[in-house]
Chains A and B, each alone.
Chain A
Amino acid sequence: MENTTNTAAAVDNSEFSFKRASQAKEIWRRFRKSKGALIGLILLLIIVGVLLFAPLFISYDAAIESDFANVLAKPSKEHIFGMDGYGHDIFARIIYGGRTSLTIALIATVTSCLFGSALGAIAGYFGGWVDSLIMRSLDIFMSVPDILFTMAVVVALGANAVNLIIALTLAYFSNYVRLVRSQVLTLSEQDYVEAARAGGSGNARIILKHIIPNAIGVIIVNVTLNVAKIIIYESTLSFLNLGMPPPQPEWGMMLSEAREFMRPAPHLLIFPAAAIVLCACSVNLVGDGLRDALDPHLKS
């Protein structure tokens, strides 16, 4: 009998070729199918566009310079969202405030996700004393309430963008440690991981090719939920005067200031609140769509 067993059999290239859409195209095709995801994406693009090109719409001066003649003015042609208690244009403050708020929220989300996921993956995959060390440290860490911790960091280091990001990262990374660790623990028990090992795959390859792709859906949903939470948390900090220093506009700060005028001038509250809700919703919609698009099970 011919020994065909241990050689790379000759290959006839002409005979067969796979017409495969690239991975990204395939994901985009599935993403497009969901109306919610598309709406979310369009909203998000509009928001990002408006924030990026803010100077085209209104100057930064309108956001920080007081026009005392128009304090608490209702929305009008000149000031479409009206004016706040210091005579600042609310539209301008929302746009420029959004730049700071969203940038900080996005960076903090990414850093907390990367930091937390890496720790969780290490704990889950290697187990043993590494796992114990990470998880016990985390327990100690989590026994301090988030808000107290963040306040301590900001008060100790000072209120600026970088320190806010550090504080928010520290407040949110622990979710990812737990989540990713449990994902890695269940996924690395799967037969297909053993199959990969039987094929000669090393740890790094298994994590990159099998564990991350299978865990990514859950992580993405968490990320998008956390973007919204972080925006709100950031507002909480500003509300407690621990956010960006005034007069720099910031959404949480705007809410905090609006409190006094809730009855006579509700627009002070409504517009920044709507901005936060809109951002949170669009990010969540995109996240849901992305999770589904990454899961071949839901391919129709």
Chain B
Amino acid sequence: MSERTNAQPLVKTVDLKKLFKLKGGALLHAVDGVNLEIYPAETLGVVGESGCGKSTLGRTILKLIEPTDGKIYFEGEDITKYSVRQMRHKRRDMQIIFQDPYACLDARMSVVDIIAEYMFIHHVYKSRAETYNRAAQLMDQVGLARRYANAYPHELDGGRRQRIGIARALSLGPKMIVCDEPVSALDVSIQAQILNLLMDLQDELGLAYMFVTHDLSVVKHISNNIMVMYLGRCVELCSADELFANPLHPYTDALLAAIPKPDISLRGKEQKLIRGEVTSPINVKPGCRFASRCPFCTEKCTNTDPEFVEVTPGHFVSCFKVNNK
């Protein structure tokens, strides 16, 4: 991974924004100026609490939602303004795995038909038989027994359904997959299986992942880099090891402190928990988004946007407390 310095990022966003217009003209800043890079065969973990814009970021990068502002590059190509038609070709390279393994599969289609759907759309094979055969191979690849081929999704459990979703995402041979909380709807034991499967597939196929989650402990083991999001903004970005060893942003600090530790000596002691509520993402004013909950908040924090600065090589933070040092 360290030798990638000369490699071109597979996906790169520059100041990417997605604002939703609400009724009455208010603007909801779901994604508010995100810069990120995803390299081939690597995983970028994206963490942040519910509603901070993780899913919106993933969907915007795939252009399932039109970005409001900023740029998206795929393999150096600016795809920001691509039409639906132009994006069709890119769909082969960029895929998504959904959070809800129930809602993301059409209940009226059988398992093979779901897995084969994308291949039919893109006419990957000439005949139906070939397509179904490839679907069967994909089932093998994701560890789904072929006897389920003609079953319907509701007959399977969450883990198997998620495997269907993974097989479908793999069916066009993508280079990058946005995994939008692919395990958060699953039992803990099945979570591990699915995570292992995703890791194996990455090794085997050289996939790049953008792995969205609100669970830092999940993302730690599988990510090369981790990006911490807060209210549509990226507050900290660095390698996974660095983030856990040397968190710089107060929000990251609090997130790490919030991971439950099986340590009896900590019982009864006060934990560093974040107080207060997330400020509203609607019509946000300038200033650090985390200011209202930050123990180190100064006046400057409440009226100026902190810049996203590379503090040490590869470690970016947007916080005045850190940047001023």
Q: A189: shortest Cβ distance to chain B, in Å?
A: 10
Does A35 lie at the interface of the complex (its beta carbon under 8 Å from any beta carbon of B)?
A: no
A8 and B152 contact, Cβ closer than 8 Å, known pairs A16-B133, A214-B106: no
A13 and B133 contact, Cβ closer than 8 Å, known pairs A4-B205, A196-B117: yes
Which residues of A have CB within 8 Å of B266? none
A195 touches B107 (CB 8 A): no
Which residues of A have CB within 8 Å of B95? 198
Which residues of B have CB within 8 Å of A127? none
Contact with B along A190-217 (1 / 0, CB 8 A): 1110111111111001000110011000
B112 touches A18 (CB 8 A): yes
B108 touches A199 (CB 8 A): no
Which residues of B have CB within 8 Å of A4? 173, 204-205
Cα–Cα distance between A202 and B88 once the two chains are bound (Å) = 9
Cα–Cα distance between A192 and B104 once the two chains are bound (Å) = 4
Chain A minimum-CB-distance residue to B93: A6
Which residues of A have CB within 8 Å of B228? none
Which residues of A have CB within 8 Å of B132? 16-18
A1 touches B152 (CB 8 A): no
Does A20 lie at the interface of the complex (its beta carbon under 8 Å from any beta carbon of B)?
A: yes
B168 touches A199 (CB 8 A): yes
Q: Which has the most chain B C-beta neighbours within 10 Å: A1, A5, A17, A194?
A: A5
B133 touches A192 (CB 8 A): no
B91 touches A210 (CB 8 A): no
Contact of B149 among A18, A196, A296 (CB under 8 A): A18
A199 touches B121 (CB 8 A): yes
Does B146 lie at the interface of the complex (its beta carbon under 8 Å from any beta carbon of A)?
A: yes
Q: A72: shortest Cβ distance to chain B, in Å?
A: 55
Which residues of A have CB within 8 Å of B130? 11, 13
A8 touches B124 (CB 8 A): yes
Which residues of A have CB within 8 Å of B293? none
Chain A minimum-CB-distance residue to B92: A6
Which residues of A have CB within 8 Å of B173? 4-9
A210 and B106 contact, Cβ closer than 8 Å, known pairs A13-B129, A194-B64: yes
B175 touches A6 (CB 8 A): yes
Cα–Cα distance between A102 and B62 once the two chains are bound (Å) = 52
Does A297 lie at the interface of the complex (its beta carbon under 8 Å from any beta carbon of B)?
A: yes
A198 and B125 contact, Cβ closer than 8 Å, known pairs A1-B206, A4-B173, A192-B104: no
Does B118 lie at the interface of the complex (its beta carbon under 8 Å from any beta carbon of A)?
A: yes
Contact with B along A1-31 (1 / 0, CB 8 A): 1011111110111011110100000000000
Does A299 lie at the interface of the complex (its beta carbon under 8 Å from any beta carbon of B)?
A: yes
A195 touches B168 (CB 8 A): yes
The residues in B between 67 and 122 inclusive whose CB is less than 8 angstroms from any CB of A are 84, 87-88, 91-93, 95-96, 98, 100, 103-108, 110, 112, 117-118, 121-122
Q: B126: shortest Cβ distance to chain A, in Å?
A: 10
Does B207 lie at the interface of the complex (its beta carbon under 8 Å from any beta carbon of A)?
A: yes
The residues in A between 267 and 300 inclusive whose CB is less than 8 angstroms from any CB of B are 294-297, 299
A202 touches B84 (CB 8 A): yes
Which residues of B have CB within 8 Å of A200? 87-88, 91-92, 118, 121-122
The residues in A between 154 and 210 inclusive whose CB is less than 8 angstroms from any CB of B are 190-192, 194-202, 205, 209-210
Cα–Cα distance between A296 and B108 once the two chains are bound (Å) = 6
Cα–Cα distance between A5 and B75 once the two chains are bound (Å) = 15
The residues in A between 85 and 128 inclusive whose CB is less than 8 angstroms from any CB of B are none
The residues in B between 164 and 194 inclusive whose CB is less than 8 angstroms from any CB of A are 165, 168, 172-175
Cα–Cα distance between A16 and B149 once the two chains are bound (Å) = 11
A213 touches B108 (CB 8 A): yes
Contact of A192 among B103, B129, B150, B205 (CB under 8 A): B103
Does B315 lie at the interface of the complex (its beta carbon under 8 Å from any beta carbon of A)?
A: no
B146 touches A16 (CB 8 A): yes
Which residues of B have CB within 8 Å of A209? 117
Q: A119: shortest Cβ distance to chain B, in Å?
A: 24
Does B134 lie at the interface of the complex (its beta carbon under 8 Å from any beta carbon of A)?
A: yes
A199 touches B129 (CB 8 A): no
B118 touches A296 (CB 8 A): no
Which residues of B have CB within 8 Å of A201? 117, 121
Contact of B152 among A11, A15, A195, A296 (CB under 8 A): A296
Q: Which has the most chain B C-beta neighbours within 10 Å: A8, A17, A214, A297?
A: A8
A8 touches B206 (CB 8 A): no
Contact of B96 among A192, A198, A205 (CB under 8 A): A198
Which residues of A have CB within 8 Å of B91? 198-200
A190 touches B168 (CB 8 A): no
Cα–Cα distance between A209 and B117 once the two chains are bound (Å) = 10
A296 and B134 contact, Cβ closer than 8 Å, known pairs A6-B173, A16-B146: no
Which residues of A have CB within 8 Å of B133? 11-13, 15-17
A191 touches B117 (CB 8 A): no
Which residues of A have CB within 8 Å of B103? 190-192
Q: A254: shortest Cβ distance to chain B, in Å?
A: 43
Which residues of B have CB within 8 Å of A9? 134, 137, 173
Residues on B close to A: CB < 8 A?
59, 62, 64, 84, 87-88, 91-93, 95-96, 98, 100, 103-108, 110, 112, 117-118, 121-122, 124-125, 129-130, 132-134, 136-137, 146, 149-150, 152, 154, 165, 168, 172-175, 204-207
A-B contact pairs, 20 of them (CB 8 A): A4-B173, A4-B205, A5-B173, A5-B175, A5-B205, A5-B207, A6-B173, A8-B134, A13-B133, A17-B132, A18-B112, A191-B103, A192-B104, A194-B59, A194-B98, A198-B62, A199-B118, A200-B87, A210-B106, A296-B152
Given A194-B59, A196-B106, A199-B121, 4 more A-B residue pairs with CB atoms under 8 Å apart are: A5-B173, A5-B207, A6-B175, A198-B95
